[in-house]
Amino acid sequence: MTKCVFCGMEKEPFKGVHLICNDGTVKFFCSSKCRKNALHLKRDKRKLKWTEFYIKKESSENKK
């Protein structure tokens, strides 16, 4: 299972889009929604409620 770098969702191998950067890193996007939000719109994944990273941030703030 591969994990999306933007939303954190796990998908089956060979589904979605793999972006290979010039430095050799491979970024996996599960959907065009994630790809557009990350690359074209340059949104912060910690500020969008539908991402896994927002949920982790909220839960860590509630513990304080």
The total of other beta-carbon atoms located within 10 Å of residue 30's CB is 21
Per-residue pLDDT, 59: 83
CATH of the domain at 13: 2.30.170.20
Beta bridge pairs of residue 33? none
10 Å CB burial of residue 58 (0-12, 13-18, 19+) is exposed
Domain that holds residue 19: 2-63
Say if CB 42 and CB 34 are below 8 A apart. Answer: no
Tens of each residue's pLDDT in the chain, 64 residues: 889 999 999 988 778 899 999 999 999 999 999 999 999 999 999 999 999 989 888 888 887 6
The count of domains in the chain is: 1
